[in-house]
Structure 1
Amino acid sequence: MEEDKRATILVTNDDGIDAPGLRALVHSLVATNLFKIQVCAPDSEKSAVSHSITWLHPIAAKQVHIDGTTAFAVSGTPADCTSLGVSKALFPTVPDLVVSGINKGSNCGYHIVYSGTVAGAREAFFNGIPAISVSYDWVKGKSNVHDFTLAAQACIPIISAVLVEIKNQSFPQRCFLNIDVPNNAANHKGYKLTKQGNSIVRMGWKQVTSETEERKMSSDMTNIDTETPKDTCTSSVSSEQLLFAREVRGYVLDHEDTDHKSLQEGYITVTPLAALSPAEVDCQAYFREWLQSVTELPSSSAL
């Protein structure tokens, strides 16, 4: 039998293995017949868990059927899924590329810190494997499930181009890519290289009377109706406990040429990220002078 020389892509996400965004991405990649696809994704929604990992107990992996792939649903976080998927403990080979998504909701600005989708790609970066996170700017009342397929198809040229760079050993090892697809995916304005901005949804807290009173928050920190988890048990809440749910209090938007602003203008934004964002240059300058003054103060033992 002739050896399969196609590149291997590991797909994960934070919305769960049954999420339409992941299924659209996987089906679009499989349809090209250009790649070998492995899937290792959470068995339930893990939105906004950031880069949390499971440490104190084992995680479970169950094989599931997705046409054209080898797929597992995992009880852990997105970072767990990537870590397990690239470890050779679950699959016999290390993937050439990890793609995390497609997330239901954008991941721009400071929301990148909260995002489990971005964490799925970042974990691959930690392991020295090229990675891409992909999110779609879902807007309630305007978006529909078919838009995930449009978003996936719009990103395949980037995925293919990245794999060419990987094969040529020219893909930068000091970053991974975060891609956001605009709401009107069918009429996007093209790809645009952007930088992470500081846009964020300002959150507050509201006291509620039951666990089902308020809608859940999606991983892009906006209100999206989702089903209440089946294992939610409001009767377990003690009368002595106070319940609080997050609510949106306002928005901080970028006015500079950043990821969020370009996304809202209709571009597919491509933002290189590293493990952590460095402090702004003016902060470096301030603390450089500040630290000099600190070292001149007497030590606590001398007081």
Structure 2
Amino acid sequence: MEDTSNHVDRPTIMVTNDDGIHAPGLQALVRTLVSTNRYRVWVCAPDSEKSAASHSASVRGTISATPTEISGATAFAISGTPADCTSLGVSKTLFPSVPDLVLSGINMGTNCGLLIVFSGTVAGARQAFIHGVPSVSISYDWVEGRSNINDFTLAAEACLPIISGIFVGIENKTYPKKCFLNVDLPTDVLNHKGFKVTKQGNGTLKASWKQVSSDDKSVSQEPRLFKMEFNGVDVYNDGTDLSFLQEGYITVTPLGALTNADIDCHTFFNQWLPECTSSDLRPCD
């Protein structure tokens, strides 16, 4: 249970994720926050894994909130999505007040480039941003065979200066309200090269589909089963979040609720729209 002594003036951090409330990344982050003795910590996270849930929300039916034991924090396991967790957690329905900061993570795996579109971790932070609450999504570039559970604690500790800096900005009323942060930590987090403010790139998962059911044409009316397989990440452009992460930096990427199209698209459409909407425009033959 949460230590309720002498925390009246402490800022409140709410933690969520998409890997589930018992995931090692979330547990390490909460443990690290509690150990600083500087924050009141709430947890509102999915009761099971909701990876790649993106920004889906439970608009029908009800969701449950089950009290869960996490030392030093007040925690609830939620039967909904990461966006549900944040929406409920900042609503003053589950907790007595709006948290000062929402942290989503630490995710087991990177969330750079176009992976942000699929990420439930990023959605947990984005939902807080939509509600006007400062937020950060945090992911660790887990590599099977190289990473271990202790790396999540190292990742959480590496994020403490960012968290502290956010509260300084909030107190000074200088922290920007038009974005939230997406932080990715490199695999060798202990020997990271420092922090780098980056832009979202175009890197995405190399995905393929494999049929896992029989292809017996004699039972053509039976459904065929397919499974998606991932084979690493494509890096389409240098100088953005994923490329700097792979160089060993902790990347800090400001994001809006929606990613704007690049300047070339704006230039094209600024010219195209007046042309295509003019009264004398004829359809192509």
Does the 8 Å CA contact 1:254/1:260 hold for their aligned counterparts? no
Q: Which amino acid aligns with 2:192?
A: H
Match of 1:191 among 188, 195, 204: 195
State the 1:296 CA deviation.
2.3
Aligned ranges 1:1-303 → 2 under 5 Å: 4-209=8-213, 240-248=222-230, 251-296=233-278
Whole-Å Cα distance in 2 between the matches of residues 250 and 287 of structure 1? 34
- The one-letter code sitting in structure 1 at the alignment partner of 2:123 is A
**Structure 1 consecutive aligned stretches of length 4 or more whose deviation exceeds 4 Å:** 297-300
Deviation at 1:118, TM superposition (A): 0.4
Long gaps (5+) in structure 1:
211-237
Give the fraction of aligned pairs with identical amino acids, expressed as a percent.
Answer: 59
User: What TM-score, normalized by structure 1, do the two folds share?
Assistant: 0.86
1:260–1:3 CA distance, 2 compared to 1 (3 A): closer
Cα 1:290/1:204, change in 2 over 3 Å: same
- Could you say what secondary structure the match of 1:248 adopts? strand
- Please tell me whether the aligned partners of residues 7 and 40 of structure 2 are also in contact (alpha carbons under 8 angstroms): no
- RMSD of aligned Cα (Å): 1.8
Q: Output the amino acid matched with 1:154.
A: A
Shift in Å at residue 286 of structure 1? 1.2
- Deviations for 1:14-59, whole angstroms, at most 9, x for unmatched residues? 0000000000000000000000000000000000010000001111
CA contact (8 A) 1:207 1:244 kept: yes
Contact 2:182/2:252 (<8 A) preserved: yes
Contact 2:275–2:281, Cα closer than 8 Å, also in 1: no
1:240-298 Cα deviation digits (max 9, x unpaired): 21111112367421442110011011111101000011111111111222222211256
Structure 2 unaligned regions, length at least 5 = 215-219
3-state SS of paired residue (2:182): strand
Q: Deviations over 1:77-128 (max 9, x none)?
A: 0000000000000000110000000000010000011000000000000000
Query: Which amino acid is 1:197 matched to?
Result: G
2:270 partner amino acid: R
- 3-state secondary structure, aligned to 1:39: strand
